[in-house]
Amino acid sequence: MSPALRRGRQGSPEGDSVPSEVYAVTLRIEGLVHGVYFRAGMLEEATRQGVAGWVRNSPDGSVEAFLEGGRAAVESVVSWAHRGPPRARVDSVNVKKADAASLKGFRIVG
């Protein structure tokens, strides 16, 4: 058996063509999260984890995000959001399960 078939996707013996389940959430992060490199930091973390989606500043001072990808990778970005970058002060993170949107890549949208 070839290494690709043994390894497969997410440990599946069927090979790399088997899609993994996509997990999606929306986030609303409150606290000192504007002007502290929060969106750029989330872009870096999501890219590092292979998570697709977007992040934006909200007029009320919070940050909103949509994340989708493998569950462990998404949860890693959510965990990062509870800390944020060094200059941030995160008071709360509201996480809601969402429908996947089949996005490619991660970007800052506002």
Q: Could you tell me which residues are beta bridge partners of residue 82?
A: none
Task: Provide the residue count of the chain.
Answer: 110
Q: Which of 57, 71, 83, 87 is catalytic?
A: 57
Residue tagged active-site, from 39, 48, 56, 94? 39
Known active-site residue 57: yes
Phi, psi of 7 (to 5 degrees): -75, -55
Active site residue 7: no
Closest to 85 in 3D by CA, of 63, 110, 58: 63
Give the DSSP per-residue string, 74-97.
HHHHHHHHHH-STT-EEEEEEEEE
Q: Are 26 and 81 in contact, with CB atoms under 8 Å apart?
A: no
Q: Which residues are catalytic?
A: 39, 57
